[in-house]
């Protein structure tokens, strides 16, 4: 018979072996379960990642759609604003055209009755009547001349504004003589304020121009210089020749004209802000139109040291 201890040892060994096998199988099962859990977690994570990517894609799609909607609204708004602006520009052009036609018609219609008054005054002057009668006739005559000049200003300014040239009649004339007549037409006090400087050896500047038109331009610039210049400073008119051009400048020492105002000063109806004198603001527009009708130009400079100077530059040989 086998020894009892040996039998017990075999039984114990078999038991331990079976337990180890069972424990190993259990560990394997646990490991497999853990692996399954891990794989499930990985699958869940991948699912969450996919969901996040889908949500982000949806969000990006929503943003893109929102941006597209905004762009479409902006495009619609821009198209509407552009169409509205074009409509406004067209309306303004039509209004400006109508205004120019109105001014031209009004000025033309006013010329006829004023011309009749002028003719009647000339006839009345031939009668030898009381001195007071002649005085009244002279008053009517002077004011009729003013009315005719204003009408001419309106017509010519309207031409310049519409991009046309002022019509001129060219004859051979001398500029210094025209300037001297302009100075002589002013009051005795104003004549004393005007200094005429001629930079020429023979004291003459002959050429082919429109003396009546240039007289209007020179008178306007001289009137402005006297009106806006300092009372205690002289107004200087200078004339000189440079090659094929003659320049005439009108200088005063009044308030300085700003650079911004200088850029617009020849525009129709523009007035420098500090100027409180009564007027229509057409004078400098006419000066520019007359200069350009002669193939010339006009410019302005203004600073505290040298005052304000308007300079007309005219070609000796005018071509129209």
pLDDT in tens, 63-81: 677 777 777 777 777 787 8
pTM: 0.60
> At residue 198, does pLDDT exceed 80?
yes
Label residue 141 by pLDDT band (50, 70, 90): confident
pLDDT in tens, 17-74: 676 666 666 766 776 777 777 677 777 777 776 777 777 776 677 667 777 777 777 7
The predicted model gives 189-217 an average pLDDT of 88
> At residue 287, does pLDDT exceed 80?
yes
Residues 277 and 298 sit within 8 Å (Cβ to Cβ): no
> What is the spatial distance between Cα 92 and Cα 159, in angstroms, rounded to a whole number?
18
189 against 120, higher pLDDT: 189
Among the residue ranges 92-106, 126-140, 152-166, the one predicted with the least confidence is 92-106
Tally the C-alpha atoms within 13 A of residue 204's C-alpha that lie toward its C-beta: 6
Query: How much is the pLDDT for 105?
Result: 63
Residue 181 vs residues 186, 195, 215, 219, 238: alpha-carbon distances, Å: 9, 13, 8, 9, 15
Residues 280 and 171 sit within 8 Å (Cβ to Cβ): no
| 216: nearest Cα among 122, 162, 291, 303 | 291
Query: How much is the pLDDT for 218?
Result: 96
Domain map of the chain by residue range? 93-161, 171-315
Residue 312 vs residues 183, 217, 292: alpha-carbon distances, Å: 17, 9, 10
Residues 254 and 308 sit within 8 Å (Cβ to Cβ): yes
Q: Which CATH code of 3.20.20.70, 3.30.70.1450, 3.30.565.10, 1.10.3720.10 fits the domain covering 171-315?
A: 3.30.565.10
> What is the spatial distance between Cα 222 and Cα 230, in angstroms, rounded to a whole number?
13
The pair of structure tokens assigned to 256 is: 């300085």
> What is the spatial distance between Cα 254 and Cα 302, in angstroms, rounded to a whole number?
10
Sign, Cα dihedral of 288, 290, 296, 300: negative
């Amino acid at each position: 018979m086998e020894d009892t201890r040996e039998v017990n040892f075999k039984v114990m060994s078999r038991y331990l072996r079976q337990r180890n096998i069972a424990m190993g199988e259990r560990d394997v099962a646990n490991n497999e379960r853990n692996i399954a859990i891990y794989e499930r977690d990985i699958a869940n994570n991948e699912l969450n990642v996919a969901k996040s990517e889908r949500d982000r894609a949806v969000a990006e799609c929503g943003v893109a759609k929102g941006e597209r909607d905004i762009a479409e609204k902006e495009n619609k708004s821009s198209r509407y604003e552009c169409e509205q602006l074009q409509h406004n520009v067209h309306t303004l052009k039509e209004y400006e055209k109508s205004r120019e036609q109105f001014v031209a018609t009004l000025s033309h219609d006013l010329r006829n009755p004023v011309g009749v008054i002028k003719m009647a005054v000339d006839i009345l002057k031939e009668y030898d009547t009381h001195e007071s009668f002649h005085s009244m006739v002279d008053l009517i005559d002077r004011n009729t001349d003013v009315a005719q000049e204003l009408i001419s200003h309106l017509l010519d300014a309207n031409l310049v504004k519409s991009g046309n040239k002022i019509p001129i009649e060219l004859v051979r004339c001398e500029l210094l003589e025209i300037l001297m007549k302009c100075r002589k037409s002013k009051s005795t006090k104003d004549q004393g304020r005007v200094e005429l400087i001629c930079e020429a050896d023979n004291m003459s500047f002959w050429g082919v121009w429109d003396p009546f038109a240039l007289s209007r331009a020179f008178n306007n610039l001289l009137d402005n210089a006297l009106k806006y210049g300092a009372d205690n400073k002289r107004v200087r008119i200078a004339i000189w020749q440079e090659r094929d051009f003659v320049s005439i400048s009108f200088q005063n020492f009044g308030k300085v004209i700003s650079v911004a105002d200088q850029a617009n000063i020849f525009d129709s109806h523009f007035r420098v802000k500090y100027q409180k004198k009564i007027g229509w603001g057409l004078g400098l527009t006419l000066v520019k139109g007359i200069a350009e009708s002669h193939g010339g130009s006009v410019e302005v400079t203004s600073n505290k040291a040298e005052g304000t100077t308007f300079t007309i530059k005219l070609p000796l040989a005018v071509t129209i």
